[in-house]
Structure 1
Amino acid sequence: MSVVTVEVGLGDRAYEILIGPGLIARGGELIQQRLPKARCAIVTDENVAAAHLEPLVESLTAVGNAPAVITLPAGEKTKSFSSLETVVDQIIAARLERGDAVIALGGGVIGDLTGFAAGIVRRGMNFVQVPTSLLAQVDSSVGGKTGINSPRGKNLIGVFHQPKLVLADTGALDTLPLREFRAGYAEVAKYGLIDRPDFFTWLEQNWQEVFSGGAARIEAIAQSCRAKADVVARDEFETGDRALLNLGHTFGHALEAATAYDGARLVHGEGVAIGMALAHRFSARLNLASPDDAARVEAHLRAVGLPWRMSDIPGDLPDADALFNYITQDKKVSRGALTFILTRGLGQSFIAKDVPASEVISFLKEQRQG
């Protein structure tokens, strides 16, 4: 299968997303083509290192660029100040300079953390994304949003720092547990629900082939990356349209915070899946969209095996008032005004500002009970 290239058009900071099999083993030559004199450090986690570190190290060593390797524990709790300090310290200890490159080899946690470190060490180093999860390939590796979590909320600390290159090796997804692949698929479905209803219909018809691999998987990833690249090119720093990419995230982030980022209970993509279902249900409650649209979204999430309601999360959740407090900590709250991504129908999402708090709390009480 051939490699598909998607460009993120940011003028002199434009970069390519390469999508296809075998890219990790070619990482050395592909990175050297774009950053010919850069020395490298690889940041990864213990799980990804066991599956994918060796071929990337070998490919870099083969072009005379033996990398420093920084390996961290796996899991959402790695997106922390202590891990950031570790990565920053080891990059500096490796004597990497500003023109050198930091490579993120892993899922969204590693990509977000590594990009933040690359953005602040020496006031900004070159950064390469090698995402190994579906979620990272279609979402977090593209667009330059980096960061770590606070105990008060997800992704509250970070910077915008664009990569120089994204290598989305579709072969790496064959090693993903089914739960992680499903979680990433939630972000794929999101692009259809934002403003590409034909893509959502295609996913309803082809999701099994996306899961099994091959051409449909590459097509779904490429379509997702094109959708995100288009939005990022229009609104790099999320002052307008880019907020649409947060469909499902305001509710989802609150649920992640409410479960203390315990991946055994809820991983990010699952939170997004529930959040998208909630966003469509809330839109129907506000008479913005038909309940049939919410039912169709829920049916597709159920079909692929994703959670779609709060009661699908194991264990107890805080009450509605506590969940609302997590929502008010979210980055998408501006000067106390509640901003949600809501919908007028499938593929008709929009930015809703000044959503009444009373409506949100009442809705949360209903959903938490049922």
Structure 2
Amino acid sequence: MASAGIEDVYAREDDQAWTKIQEENKAILTEITELCNRPDRKTPEVLFLLGGPGVGKSSLVNTINKALCGKYYPKAKTGSGNAQSKTLTLQWFEHSGVQMFELQGAQKDAFSKCLHLLPNVIDAAGNEDHNSAELREILEMVFGGFIPPGTSVEFLQDQQKEGKVGCLKRLYPLCNEEWKVTKVVFVASCKEPLPTQMVECLNEVLRAYDKKTGFPKFNIDVFVVITKYDLVEEQKRFPAVRQQEQITMEKFLEHEREVATHFSIDGSLKHNSIRWVSYVDGHSEDNPFIENIALKFVRQMMQPGRSKHQVENAPSTVVTPLVEMSRDAERWLAETNVNMKTALLVLVAALIIALIYHLLTRSPESKMDL
């Protein structure tokens, strides 16, 4: 039986719904333009895509690009299923991969003057499900803006093998403010188990704080995109465009709840988790319903995050050298006290043993003198 084609999607949508979603998309384009032109918008957002191999990170990039420029361009290389990811570098898509000459129609009207403020996207290689010091170091360096765009992930891993964890900080001592990640998008497939170890690795990195000031190292919001929603049986908006095994809505909701638990977003699931459908190679004809998801996502990514307090912008050192010296002195005194008590006990025991030995080994003449 042939899989449902994109034409079948069109056939199942009445003209009224079609027109309504197109009008909504134009309104969202306007909203994104307004977010670009906010007076406090000095630099574009930097989105970092994290997830396992084959979950749809590259397809997500291509879909965002299509929604923002109006025409489908396969900018990001896409893998297939659980095969090894084709993404071997920290691919940097400036302004979501959109170029001025590619803008079409409504998109051209919206972004021709603010293209430079559309989000930058970093598409990283698919990682195995693990939580390691090596991966934490790479994430910390990327989030902090230390790793240049386009750097090979394999190069970073090879450097760690030769120089051990910590070597990347020596290789890349300076950060670039424009490279700093502002939002992390964790990409998970509804058909694959959630990589919980990778999630915990990410959470550990984002929980890190500066040991001198006490403030968090990163001011980064986390969002989760659950891909391949078109393979859910009960939803009717997006019939599967490929012959793939479908899943039930019950299974999808179970996966969604697991995501909420591991990311601690139970109370903000609708805001921080997105049900995603991508354009894919060979099925990239205009579909305003897919673009609606992508445009809402971009709008969400461009919403201003939590503003830093002025104290956070210029933090003072709480743990000063004097505090450290005081702690070292207290620790030394505590250790010394324990050692002195032990030494006294040993000394007393030695004196008792010496006295007993002396009494037992005295000569007979000495005993008669007593």
Question: For the superposition of Structure 1 and Structure 2, which TM-score range results when normalised by the shorter chain?
Answer: under 0.3
* Larger RCO of the pair (alpha carbons < 8 Å, separation 6+): 2
TM-score normalised by length of structure 2: 0.26
TM-score normalised by length of structure 1: 0.26
Larger radius of gyration: 2
